[in-house]
Amino acid sequence: MADPSGNSPATGGLFGDLARLFGKGGGSDAAPDTGPVTAPAGVETFNPAGGGPVGGSLAGIGSDQLSQAFENAPLAIVFADRAGRVLAGNRMFCELAGLDSVSPQAGLALSDLVMAEDAGLLAEATGQALAGSPPGHPVELRMARDPELVAAGFVRALQCPDETAEEAESAPSLILHLIDVSQRKKLEAQFVQSQKMQAVGQLAGGVAHDFNNLLTAMIGFCDLLLLRHSPGDQSFADIMQIKQNANRAANLVRQLLAFSRQQTLRPRVLDVSEVLSELSHLLRRLMGENIRLDMRHGRNLDLVKADQGQIEQVILNLAVNARDAMPEGGALSIATETIEIIRAQQIGSEEILPGRYVKIEVADTGTGIPPEVVPRIFEPFFTTKAVGSGTGLGLSTVYGIVKQTGGHVLVNSEVGEGTSFSILLPAYAADAAQGAEPGEEAEARNRDLTGAGTIMLVEDEDPVRLFSARALRNKGYKVIEARSGEAAMEILAAEEEPIDLLITDVVMPGIDGPTLIRLVRERRPHIKVLCISGYSEDALRQRIAEETGIAFLSKPFSLKQLAGRVKELLDG
């Protein structure tokens, strides 16, 4: 194997120096037998007599073998003199540094190979090594040719006691081992990002839960007021304004829950082509006259099981982003097709498992997204729009909805060319589509929502409990109120009258909803249960997996939604 310096490794050049260091040189270059020497801590000490480094033996290994071991090492190795000039580097070092070869005559400095910001760290590490300081932690260095390449550097000093001062200046005095840790750093960054997203998601979910309680009361009391005010009354329009704004706030809360993946989904088996066709008129109005909308539906498209409203929200959010990226006009294309993944694939941070997927591609001809921005586009509240032009929740909502549905979001963007978002939704194997949500059917089917029976209502939020109790009493039900799980158990212990339905909040201090359900069913095993919560139904089902016959109503709900769900359960 040729020596990088161009000298014969056996007789001269760097490997002749190395041979003298290891006591295995040839001819007059061989070092006399002076015995072991002692060096400061952190300095590699060699026995020139041929015993190799103190504490180990290289007897019988020649400079040719050392050269091969150096060149074929599985990590980057570089030798430098006291001034930090590179004398030799192996193949892995050349790949890491982006060099074709290394020559001592080039006068290449170690500091030239790393980012300017990291050159100080490298100089400090080499200085400490030459001063004989004990080896410390590796120093992380970003390579100058690509900041994404990060190497962990271990710097050690070399010492050959028989060299003159002049020879020592140009002799190999430093050895630097570099381990490529770029992938590890990327994984660490992804982990930190996921932790940050999870923390913000938990915060958003908690805030959304509290807002849902407030909005339930606001919408509910508006419904009660509307019972006493006809459309001709002066107050009717004001009440409707309050209710409409409360519903707008509820949509924002749903976005927060979508980001935190805690929103309640009502999945149905859908034909994506039909959903997009129904949405096309709204999309054309959103795009305006200077943007052309092009829809292409794949043939024999598989069905998917998803919440239609949330899928529409995903498409609308992506379409609005595309419109804002094309201020001078352009084209927005939405295409669907069925694809099959044969082997698991890792695309960016997304791991896509084998299976059939329905792909929805939303592509624009806009300004594109800079590469440095792409990793952050799904962060909550991150936006590149002007202040007041966006909430920063659009794409994070898209990400949350798609992930909760079991799908994937892929992004491909080029500045000046446009951006393409690909939504992959798992294909649904069943043949027939399901109908609407049962509660919605009941509300639409039963215009008369009055009924009879005894209901226990357990809710720790006073406004929600007061509205719900009044609404149900107005529909003809007897309502027993309890502010907590403990209060409900006391009432049940003293109440002999049969209770037809238990309505309980899920999250309460003390005895929470799932615990209350188990305790109540120990005494009254056949009681019907309706859970109300600002969190998702999935979160509830995980906690009461062994219980059956439990219905769910998400907050915020209106008077009609509550009465319709109750009537459906009691009539069923």
Structure-block tokens of residue 503: 């309505």
Four-way CATH pick for 271-426: 3.40.50.970, 3.30.950.10, 3.20.20.70, 3.30.565.10: 3.30.565.10
pLDDT at position 69: 84
Tally Cβ neighbours within 10 Å of residue 546: 6
Mean pLDDT of the chain: 78
Examine the pLDDT at 528 and tell me if it is beyond 70. Answer: yes
Tally Cβ neighbours within 10 Å of residue 29: 15
Tell me the one-letter amino acid at 359: K
Question: Is the preceding peptide bond at 556 cis, omega within 30 degrees of 0?
Answer: yes
Beta bridge partners of 429: none
pLDDT at position 233: 84
Strands 501-505 and 528-533: parallel
Residue 303 is given by DSSP the state E
Q: Which of 202-206, 381-385, 493-497 has the highest mean pLDDT?
A: 493-497
Examine the pLDDT at 17 and tell me if it is beyond 80. Answer: no
Nearest CA among 131, 505, 128, 130 for reference residue 139 = 128
Cβ–Cβ under 8 Å, residues 460 and 437: no
The domain ranges of the chain are 65-160+167-185, 189-258, 271-426, 454-571
Tally Cβ neighbours within 10 Å of residue 274: 13
Tally Cβ neighbours within 10 Å of residue 311: 24
Give tens-digit pLDDT for 148-158: 889 998 888 88
pLDDT at position 263: 57
Region 473-502: what's the mean pLDDT?
A: 90
Beta bridge partners of 421: 362, 411
Nearest CA among 406, 413, 402, 439 for reference residue 570 = 439
Region 527-541: what's the mean pLDDT?
A: 77
Rounded to whole angstroms, the Cα distance separating 292 from 330 reads 6
Rounded to whole angstroms, the Cα distance separating 364 from 367 reads 9
pLDDT at position 498: 86
Region 443-471: what's the mean pLDDT?
A: 83
Examine the pLDDT at 521 and tell me if it is beyond 80. Answer: yes
Give tens-digit pLDDT for 26-39: 443 443 343 433 44
Angle, helix 182-226 to helix 559-571, in steps of 10 degrees: 90
CATH level 3 topology of 65-160+167-185? Beta-Lactamase (3.30.450)
The model's pTM is: 0.49
Angle at 216 (CA atoms; ends 487, 210), nearest 5 degrees: 75
Task: Kindly list the distances between the CA atom of residue 251 and the CA atoms of 313, 316, 414, in Å, as whole numbers in the listed order.
Answer: 10, 14, 32
Examine the pLDDT at 257 and tell me if it is beyond 80. Answer: no
% of the chain residues with pLDDT over 90: 18
Residue 509 sits at φ, ψ, to 5 deg, of -65, 150
Give tens-digit pLDDT for 178-229: 999 888 888 887 777 777 767 766 776 677 778 888 888 899 899 989 888 8
Four-way CATH pick for 454-571: 3.40.50.2300, 3.30.200.20, 3.40.50.300, 1.10.760.10: 3.40.50.2300
For the domain spanning 189-258, the CATH number is: 1.10.287
Region 321-344: what's the mean pLDDT?
A: 90
